[in-house]
């Protein structure tokens, strides 16, 4: 059983449905675990669970080691008498079709005041710690439940930390505050990206100990951890701190071997995953080969313009990788397919084994086309195949989680009755064939 190919589902906590403005660690999370376990999946992958930034991105957190208090289960807080009935009811909303971040400051204020009242102090540091203690109590309760159901959790660790974060304030020597990280022009952003987060001072004493602490905390919270922008350990795109886009940058070298040697002394590096998308050169690939850390393959990248030698086409996947139809930064698979025209669409569908009229848009064709895509992904040699929940539900572009370089993302949310729309028998069969036949 240990060597069987596995599978998982990608969905952020925020996207779970409930009566409030954002998904939580409450009943809806346990029901999601039950659902994917019943379908034969092995993993639940999610985005970073730290607090979000001003644009609601979890990848530029003001508190990188902390938990997002917006995910706290309000019903449990009420049952524990931390918040009052009136405070609970004040958080209910009518429009639950998307995550409504306009409530964010009110929610944070309400929770902090409630904890201050509950523990009998207004000391900000003590209240913050009490809130974090409750977050991690709820978190590990969910993790134990998921693991008992056979579901392991895959977390996501942002490579950089926010310039305004508590970590930069506590350890300014670990960062070069005159520069920022970013990405050169690529598939997602023709002008590249400027992320606003300071780059690392890899020569600073103690920086590898600090990194090991990050990974230790992450690997306690999750069974596996994806390191976002993994290539930044080898080389990183460096921009002036005041740059507005990623055009006028330069590649600078990191300290990958020192980093890896330090990490493997402190953590189980076999449970790390490298987000190795974007510009990957021989040096990055060599580092991945040396460490044995699995990378990622994204089927949409291989099917956008078919090159049969592309590493992103399923027949080229190595065993040591995680394979996706798309990530949180991609369009949904139906949105992607709908955007293909002419020969590109025909090539895509023929690669997936389809024939006949390939320009249809009806619901039956949507099902057939997407199932053909998923079949190719799940037949691949990749040790773990991941489907975004939007793809399981066959949603279109309006369900996209994020578009890199644009604001206004991160709001996708499942409907209350989403589970009734899942083709349960199909996914049970797909997972059975992945494990025992293909």
Q: pLDDT (tens digit, 9 = 90+) per residue, 392-422?
A: 999 999 999 999 878 889 999 999 999 999 9
With contact defined as beta carbons under 8 Å apart, do 322 and 314 qualify? no
- pTM, two decimals, is 0.96
Give domain status of residue 101, yes or no. Answer: yes
Q: pLDDT (tens digit, 9 = 90+) per residue, 240-255?
A: 999 999 999 999 999 9
What confidence tier does 258 reach under pLDDT thresholds 50, 70, 90? very high
Domain count within the chain: 1
Looking at residue 3, what is its pLDDT? 64
Cβ neighbour number for residue 86 with a 10 Å cutoff: 7
Q: pLDDT (tens digit, 9 = 90+) per residue, 181-201?
A: 998 887 768 899 999 999 999
Give domain status of residue 54, yes or no. Answer: yes
H-type alpha helices, 304-418: 333-339, 342-351, 363-379, 389-392
With contact defined as beta carbons under 8 Å apart, do 388 and 328 qualify? yes
Looking at residue 28, what is its pLDDT? 98
Average pLDDT of the segment spanning 333-344: 91
What confidence tier does 278 reach under pLDDT thresholds 50, 70, 90? confident
Looking at residue 207, what is its pLDDT? 98
CA distance 163 to 239: 14
Instruction: Give me the chain's average pLDDT, please.
Output: 95
Give domain status of residue 347, yes or no. Answer: yes
CB within 8 A of 62, min separation 6: which ones?
Answer: 51, 53, 162, 164, 165, 166
H-type alpha helices, 179-318: 207-221, 256-266, 282-291, 299-303
Residue 1: pLDDT over 60 = no
Give domain status of residue 304, yes or no. Answer: yes
Give domain status of residue 1, yes or no. Answer: no
Range of the domain at 141: 6-436
Q: pLDDT (tens digit, 9 = 90+) per residue, 11-31?
A: 999 999 999 999 999 999 999
CA distance 244 to 193: 8
Tokens for 206? 């103690």
* High-pLDDT (> 90) share of the chain, %: 87
CA distance 62 to 128: 13
Tokens for 156? 């996501």
Q: pLDDT (tens digit, 9 = 90+) per residue, 82-135?
A: 999 999 999 999 888 999 999 999 999 999 999 999 999 999 999 999 999 999
Give domain status of residue 105, yes or no. Answer: yes
CATH number at residue 334: 3.20.20.80
CA distance 341 to 363: 18
CA distance 195 to 288: 24
Q: pLDDT (tens digit, 9 = 90+) per residue, 223-246?
A: 999 999 999 999 999 999 999 999
With contact defined as beta carbons under 8 Å apart, do 273 and 296 qualify? yes
Give domain status of residue 241, yes or no. Answer: yes
Looking at residue 260, what is its pLDDT? 97
Give domain status of residue 237, yes or no. Answer: yes
Residue 370: pLDDT over 90 = yes
Residue 251's nearest CA partner among 179, 187, 191 is 179
């Amino acid at each position: 059983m240990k060597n069987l190919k596995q599978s998982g589902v990608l969905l952020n906590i925020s996207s779970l449905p409930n009566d409030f403005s954002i998904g939580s660690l409450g009943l809806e999370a346990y029901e999601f675990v039950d659902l994917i376990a019943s379908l034969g999946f092995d993993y639940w992958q999610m985005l970073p669970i730290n607090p979000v930034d001003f644009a609601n991105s979890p990848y530029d957190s003001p508190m990188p080691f902390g938990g997002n208090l917006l995910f706290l289960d309000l019903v449990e807080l009420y049952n524990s008498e931390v918040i009052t009935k009136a405070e609970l009811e004040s958080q209910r909303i009518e429009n639950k079709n998307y995550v409504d971040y306009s409530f964010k400051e009110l929610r944070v204020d309400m929770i902090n005041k409630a904890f201050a009242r509950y523990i009998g102090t207004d000391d900000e540091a003590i209240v913050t710690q009490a809130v974090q203690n409750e977050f991690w109590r709820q978190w590990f309760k969910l993790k134990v439940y998921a693991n008992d159901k056979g579901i392991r959790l895959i977390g996501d660790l942002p490579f950089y930390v926010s310039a305004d974060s508590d970590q930069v304030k506590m350890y300014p020597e670990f960062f070069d505050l005159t520069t920022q990280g970013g990405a050169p022009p690529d598939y997602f952003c023709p002008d590249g990206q400027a992320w606003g987060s300071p780059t690392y001072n890899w020569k600073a004493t103690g920086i590898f100990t600090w990194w090991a602490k990050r990974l230790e905390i992450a690997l306690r919270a999750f069974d596996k951890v994806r390191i976002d922008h993994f290539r930044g350990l080898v080389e990183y795109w460096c921009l002036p701190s005041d740059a507005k886009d990623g055009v006028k940058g330069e590649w600078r070298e990191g300290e990958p071997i020192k980093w890896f040697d330090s990490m493997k002394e402190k953590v189980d590096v076999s449970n790390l995953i490298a987000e190795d998308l974007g510009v990957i050169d021989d040096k990055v690939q060599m580092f991945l080969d040396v460490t044995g850390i699995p990378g990622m393959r994204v089927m949409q990248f291989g099917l956008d313009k078919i090159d049969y030698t592309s590493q992103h086409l399923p027949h080229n996947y190595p065993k040591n990788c995680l394979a996706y139809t798309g990530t949180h930064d991609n369009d949904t698979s139906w949105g992607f397919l709908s955007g293909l025209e002419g020969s590109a669409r025909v090539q895509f569908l023929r690669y997936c084994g389809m024939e006949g009229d390939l320009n249809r848009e009806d619901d039956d064709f949507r099902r057939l086309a997407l199932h053909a895509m998923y079949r190719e992904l799940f037949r691949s040699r990749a040790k773990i195949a991941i489907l975004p929940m939007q793809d399981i539900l066959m949603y279109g572009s309006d369900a996209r989680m994020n578009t890199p370089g644009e604001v206004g993302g991160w709001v996708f949310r499942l409907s209350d009755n989403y589970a009734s729309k899942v083709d349960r028998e199909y996914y049970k069969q797909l997972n059975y064939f992945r494990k025992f036949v293909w």
